[in-house]
Structure 1
Amino acid sequence: MYTLSYRYKKYACLLFLLGAAIAGYAQQPASFIHISDELVNNEVTSIIQDKKGFIWFGTRGGLHRFDGYEMKLLKNDFSKSNNLLSQSVEVLQNGKKNIVWIGTKSGGLSSYDLTTGRITNFVNTSVGNTGFNADYILSLLDTESEKLLLGTWKGFQYLDKSTGKFKILNSTWKTFDIQTDGTNGYWLATNSGLRHLNSQLINDQVYDFGIQGINVSSIVTDKENNCLWLGTWDRGLIKFNAVTKEFKFFRHQANNDRSISSNNTYRLHLDSKGTLWIGTWGGGLNRFDRSTESAEKMDLSIPGVFTTDNQIILTIQEDPSGLLWVGTDGAGVFKMDLNPKKFFNIGYKANVFGGTTHILSVYVDPFNKLWLSTKGGGIQYSADWKIFSKLKITAADDLNTPNIPYESRSFLQQEENLWIATNKGLIRIKNNKTITGQYELFIPDPMDSNSISGRKINAIAKDSSGRIWIGTQENGLSFISGFDKRNKPLFKNYLPSYGVKGALQNERVSCMLVDSKKRLWVGTYKGLHLYNPVSDNFRFYVQTDEPGRSISNNTILCLAE
């Protein structure tokens, strides 16, 4: 018997929930991540996704790398040589050549090599205009050239990546955002308006929109509408046409719930669907419709928690899968799915399943045929997902239990054969794009030691070697070891031997999983089993009193990775 580490406990699930999503945007985010989910700090200042797919969260307590399951923390630790100089991360930038650039609030600039894991720090050592002179980094942009542009609390400068040397271009612009202009120049959001730099990094244009000393905090390029959207401090949202120089302000209106919720439009993001997201400082998250020029405030409430920390939005980032990540100033990270989920019903009104709408299992084969097992309606299939045919079972195969219809909870296609695990035996059908042939039924035969161990089958799976495994309700586990001259499958059976090390410990196999490491896991009503193909036996995991090292229940109903 073995205990199970935390990493593998998430494979064993005791309840399967099927949820429905509503088409369009949900008013609440899909989920949120905060300190109780291993986030070191709830002030999330910057979010990016690197070239390998990892999500990075910059926080006031360190830098997190999230793989979808677990958090890895990088923070200031003087006991380590490979170390960030400050744990207060302000901005992240996906750089060239597998580099993540890290701008901090009090420790200057660092870089992280995704290939080697090496951290390189650039320290404030200059009092003049010849070197790096800032601890507080506000914005970063890695250009196509060897220049890394930096907006800092002490102005605007760049790092020549080829030489490792810095050059200060201005010591007064607090530069909150840097974006390309689509050619060879750059737009800068500064504490003295919107500035444009040409390809030589010379400031050739300044726009204050009629407000001296306007703080521009964020820039979004809108190619569809040929304009820039600008976030500001206390001046609302600005739509600016850089060609005609025309601009328009959008401000909060107390009696208009379709206006923006705050004039502190701190962070902007234009998503892949064309929606402009406005992260405000004090007014939460707004969704802005560019066609109607109207806003809607999003609900970022956390069930059972009252907080105003979700009203300050520090960063907004969309990943390639269509998830919108929103970092806040104390409420952690919120995640929203931008892809609307649409469901359509098959067969309920038309009653195409023979008088039942109780669906036990669903399977789409490699040829896009839809297979269903129903309660009372047998096993059915459809090539067009509209007209269904019922798998016809002969009277001889129904002789002993004619009043109990065939039901299945597991299907498996292997080459041109579809295997169906049923409550009355294992079915094999020749199945390809054009043909769904006659079935064959395989059941236990007391006179044949190579027959399947049990008739009622709960699960079927194929391991990395191509073996087909069959888990039964009352007779343990089997796999197909080969075929005879008539192409009839030969089975090797594993019957339970209670208390015997390496043996199956329960006759009732409920589910199976072949994980990403090509290992076969077997769930039973008395614990979890891991098959060892070298020794041809099982490692056994059960619930124990050891906290954090045990599965929570011995009844395993489903497995997932």
Structure 2
Amino acid sequence: NYVSNLIQDRLGFLWFATDDGLNRFDGYDFKVFRNNPSDKSSISDNSTFAITEDDSGRIWIGTKIGYLNCYDPVLDKFTYWKIESEITKDNSITNIHIDKKFNVWIGTYRSGLYKLDTKTGKTLNWTHKNDDPKSLSNNYISSIVEDDFGNLWIGTFNGLNQFNPNNSNTHFVKYFFDKNNPNSLSDNIIWGIAESKSEKNKLWLGTANGLTILNTETKNFSRINIPNPDNLQFGNGTGTVVEEIVDGESVIWINSYAGMLRYNVTRNRFDRFLSEKDNPNSLTSNQVNNIIKDRSGVLWIATDNGLSYFSQKSIKFNNSLLFPDRSVDLNKLDKLNVKAIAKSSDGTLWIGTDNGLYFSNNVNGKLFLQKYSALSSENIWSLTAGNLNDLWIGTYGSGLFHLNYKTNQLTRHDILLGVIKSTSRNFVKSVFKDDKNNLWIGYWGVGLSRLNLSTGKVQNWLHQKDNMNSLSHDDVWTIFQDSKKRIWIGTNGGGLNLYDESNGGKFSHYSFKEGSKSSLSSNSVYSIVESKSKNFGNNNTILWIGTSNGLNKLIINNSDSKNISQSDVKVTYYTTKDGLTDNSIKSIVEDKNGNLWLGTSSGITLFDLSKNTFTNFSTSDGVIGTDFNFTSSFKLNDNLIIIGSTVGLNYFNPNRISQSSYKPAVVLTDFLIFNNSVKAE
């Protein structure tokens, strides 16, 4: 599992140096090159460590016992040389560099720097000599980089060396850490050097105590300290740097022995990503040996415990690497059935599960999810937050609760006591607080209640078979107030209801009609949201209705009146025939671009309204679970949406979920005659 180094070659293959051979990955399969004692054209040994590619496409590999290998992909053969040392028997090769004149430079673990003549097999060797101030500063070579002037910059475990191989006089110019000079190296132990891809004459130097930037033209150094508030071992150290631009901001990724670091240069912000035991989307280990970014944008991460890879285009959901600003550990809800989400006026996030109520709590400046002890065993079905320090909580079997989270006072309210004898009154499927300080409560089987929180007055509605203006069904699953202050009620079996306060309160019904393309697609209504997008015109109200048989769009001719006729409403709907992965639309949330994110019974679906297309996401995209809950979704901000499933909470940035436009080249990996591989001669 020990992966020491990795590269991507010109054909697109990924190469990984490991303790058990050289691995090549073509995007589908791994091919492992190991030593075969009976084949002189095989690799010298299996303990591969350093790796690079030359301009002709050959792969150069250094091993831990001092062999330099050259793999010719055309002939599928290895040639190798033993790099002898007078200092150590094994002479581990730590770094390989092919310069602009095709010279092969070799860095070693304890024997300094070598230059190989591949025609004769002879080497030149430079080492540290205590009595020679012009010699190499240290015999441990961690990295070799060539600048635009032809200079070699050599990182060691005791300073940085500049070497011009074109000069007849061998002279290493050395640079060291100076505690009295803030413009010197940040530490003498150099783990890695990377040439900047965005700025000319700039090198990133990863040291045991932070990053150092070197201008190779002016020879000026500047330091960047690495925050390590948790005092992690090796927490101040850095290695190789990979640059990229994310959302117009300069970002670098850095490997270390204390996880992987992301440094937002634009914001001067560091974020550290560590291996998390219970998070399958975290790093495989905190010891990150090296990182690269391939041509499709994927980061590949070599660790002492295997390989990790990360891409905002592949692992789209629940990837902490995409969310440096995510302040709450949402992974704590893993395997819990997340049924309700609300955010109170003080910014607290409340999450209802089948195993109690959770909330975000500020501890020493950090936000953590904490379980609310008084409701620790309750099955939470619904939540709504007001603006007076109150949270209303609907449960499965225990009724309705009110929590004043400022005073921590919890009160149970039995609204239907004395009205409904059935224990069904304790199954509160939906709660909603409107703009007039009314609390609406939807029950599983016993209708709808409205509690005036100012007066305490309660009004109840049940379905009446002989009253066409009554509630259409007694299973009330969702309640919503639109921008015109109209109250909409979704039922399980009776379709959609619009409440009319006039004439003592009556309900207009919108339901499924067999054979009609202008009715709702189902009478089971799970979720309701209003579009805030202006794409539909200012004279219309658009409601999106999630049902058991597709997504419905209600276009309502705009009127400030709460009384609208059936002719004012136009209904269209979408099903699996239009691209949905499943017709059961449990939850809906709209992003800042007016697109809809749907929690279904078979994953998460994006409805791009500008293109009128559906894109479906599943566990292969990082989605936790496949079955989602009714109305259990929430937009925390423009960059973070959360959706509850039956086995956890999903979070994602809707702005960073896109399909890759990268098209890899077609490469032949084998040639067979009668099912036998044929090698080129």
Give the shorter-chain TM-score range.
0.3 to 0.5
Q: TM-score if structure 2 supplies the norm length?
A: 0.37
Tell me which of the two structures has the higher relative contact order, counting C-alpha pairs closer than 8 angstroms and 6 or more residues apart: 1
Structure exhibiting the larger radius of gyration computed from Cα positions? 2
